[in-house]
Amino acid sequence: MPVRWTRRLLPRAVAACWRALLPVVALVSVLGVAWPGLAQPQDPQAAFIEAAAGRPAEIRAVWISNAILGRLGGPAGVQQLLDQLAKANFNVILPETVFRGYTLYPGPYQDPRFAAWPEDPLTVIVREAKARGLEVHPWVWVFAAGLDPAPGPILASHPQWAECLPAGGGRASSASGAAGSRTLWLTPSSPEVRRFLMEEFLRVLRRYPVDGLHLDYIRYGETPCGDGVPQASAARYLEETGIDPRLLAAGAAAAAGGSPAANAREVAAWHLWLEAQVSAFVRDMATAMRAENPRWVLSAAVTPEIREARYLRRQDWEHWLRNGWVDFVFPMAYSSNLGLLRTMMASWDGLGPLRSRLVPGLLVSANDLPSLLAQIELVRAAPTAGVALFSADYLLAAHMDALRSGPFAQESVVPYRDAAGNPVRPPAPEAFVPPSAPPVFVAVPSYADVPGPNLAAAARVTVDSSFRGYGPAPLNDGRRNDEVEIGRWAEVAWASAETPVDHWIELAWDEPQVIARVDVYWARSREKFQASRRYRLEAWIGDGWQVLFAHEDPVGTLHVTRHSVSFVPVVTSRLRVFQPAGGGPAERPDLMWVAEVEVYGP
């Protein structure tokens, strides 16, 4: 819905730069505004295509974790790993350099594992990478600074910088909540925290001849401080605006007599303020890097789906791209199958030319080698800048051989430098591009027309299979599909394995039941409802399954929230929702995806 702003609702820290632009924000749709500099798209590769001598121009990056670096033990191990990566025609490495509040390189926060190396580990990595023609972009954790119960040296030295504090003070508490996260966070809302981190990262850039910087955990936690309200940020917001975000989160403002519209505006203002704290770091980091050395490239690992990134993590990476603050983003499109990867990639269609600044990240450990190669080919066929693999820890000799003989057979140049090594960037926007309105989600009908008790609640539920991380428990837990599912898909719905075979849900009772109606609530994903195009309701009668109802829709729809089917009453102790092979939703025909099954008598 449109959002009308007042200066009272904005922090003093950002009001000055937004004052003239706030009326525009109210008119911006969730999809954002066009980047003025991209009204006539320009190919950023045009300046150096001729110099590439026929080689493809794409990023082929790999994350190198502190874990594998610790196992390498010194220069010889680094040389062996980088030999393998160079032979496989990677061109960018992302060595984990700041992590859990520790550093790879010498200094007050160095991880003890690396203090025993005969040389500075980052010096070794950079020297050996350069000798093999690999660019080095240090991978740094930004606002995540430890794992509970170990706060890490930065938080241990500066406990006042924690986002979450236990009652009565003490060390930082975990951001654990329903998702069970153990991550400990620095507060993005503190200018002192942002300044400290920026100065630390600039020291890395100045001290080592690296090619750029790769930001990770550049966001808020999924469930800040357990209850969804980031404590340090809420305190600062209350100080700046006089509004207590804890009341907004609880809906207390509306309950106290405030209008729903006014409360919605305040909730939107709070959301944008949180995003602005994260975005301020990205903006300032980019400004400082380009003022000192324009050849440095800034990238960030991000949540792949834009609305999920904003709603769940206050990470508006589309906003960063539209303002030109980051050169590239690496959407972490981690998936064990092509169907989910296609869904994530489809969510980028609205970005238009900005898709050329995306480097999708693929999860090696979740796929066998043929599946990983298929995902790489799918990504490389899209209008993106390349591909990144997470991580070197899982790349075996077979992976290296397959890459070298397959998708990476030809050497590649990076698509962001000209022949002289200078950065090639799209034109900067003519003026600051404000963020679009926060995500708004479709309200689902309540469907109160039930004839009696829900018999499914007492049934035992079994399924033919489950997608990775899913299980059948949500199918009769009484929660339909009217909740925002972002970040909680497996909590609110069941999904089958995404395989071209029959899928089914079976409900069984100890005693026969008289059944006359079945309601199937289809899973909700990104404002679409995953109704199966073909399925049957079947009851066990005598010694076999008897069809009670058959649904057939060759085209399918993503707008139907449930199917409610009534039939002549039957007596049975087993009921099945059966989807024949390929009968799933239009976008993912090999998947069966259901939020809830309800069963009623006559």
| pTM summary value | 0.85
Over residues 230-242, the mean pLDDT reads 96
Q: Are 494 and 505 in contact (CB under 8 A)?
A: yes
Which residues of the chain are in CATH 3.20.20.80 domains? 7-405
Which residues of the chain are in CATH 2.60.120.260 domains? 455-600
3 pLDDT tier (thresholds 50, 70, 90): very low
- Listed range (18-27, 341-350, 556-565) with the worst mean pLDDT: 18-27
Query: Per the structure block, which two tokens stand in for 49?
Result: 């295509």
Query: Per the structure block, which two tokens stand in for 471?
Result: 């299980």
- Listed range (22-26, 208-212, 537-541, 562-566) with the worst mean pLDDT: 22-26
Whether pLDDT at 2 is above 80: no
Which of 379, 358, 378, 412 has the alpha carbon at shortest distance from 49? 412
Q: Please tell me the distance from the alpha carbon of residue 94 to that of residue 556, in angstroms, as a whole number.
A: 43
Q: Please tell me the distance from the alpha carbon of residue 17 to that of residue 233, in angstroms, as a whole number.
A: 20
For the chain, what percent of residues have pLDDT higher than 70? 86
What is the three-class DSSP state of 427? coil
pLDDT tens-digit readout, 245-302: 988 865 544 444 556 778 889 999 999 999 999 999 999 999 999 999 999 999 999 9
Q: Please tell me the distance from the alpha carbon of residue 469 to that of residue 21, in angstroms, as a whole number.
A: 43
54 pLDDT tier (thresholds 50, 70, 90): low
Q: What is the domain class of 455-600 according to CATH?
A: mainly beta
527 pLDDT tier (thresholds 50, 70, 90): confident
Please give the angle made by the CA atoms of 66, 216 and 354, to the nearest 5 degrees: 135
Q: Please tell me the distance from the alpha carbon of residue 519 to that of residue 557, in angstroms, as a whole number.
A: 17
Q: Are 83 and 134 in contact (CB under 8 A)?
A: no
pLDDT tens-digit readout, 92-140: 999 999 999 999 999 999 999 999 999 999 999 999 999 999 999 999 9
Over residues 457-485, the mean pLDDT reads 95
Average pLDDT, the chain: 88
Instruction: Provide the pLDDT for residue 250.
Output: 54
pLDDT tens-digit readout, 364-385: 999 999 999 999 999 999 999 9
Eight-class DSSP state of 358: B
Pairing relation of β-strands 102-103 and 328-331? Answer: unpaired
Query: Per the structure block, which two tokens stand in for 323?
Result: 């303002």
Whether pLDDT at 500 is above 50: yes
Pairing relation of β-strands 494-495 and 59-64? Answer: unpaired
- Listed range (24-33, 234-243, 390-399, 508-517) with the worst mean pLDDT: 24-33
Whether pLDDT at 55 is above 90: no
Whether pLDDT at 49 is above 60: no
Q: Which residue has the tokens 């000209």?
A: 418
118: burial class by Cβ within 10 Å (0-12, 13-18, 19+)?
exposed
Cα dihedral 101, 105, 109, 115, rounded to 10, equals 120
Eight-class DSSP state of 414: -
**296 CB-side CA count, 13 A:** 24
Instruction: Provide the pLDDT for residue 172.
Output: 54
For the chain, what percent of residues have pLDDT higher than 90? 77
What is the third-level CATH fold of 7-405? Answer: TIM Barrel (3.20.20)
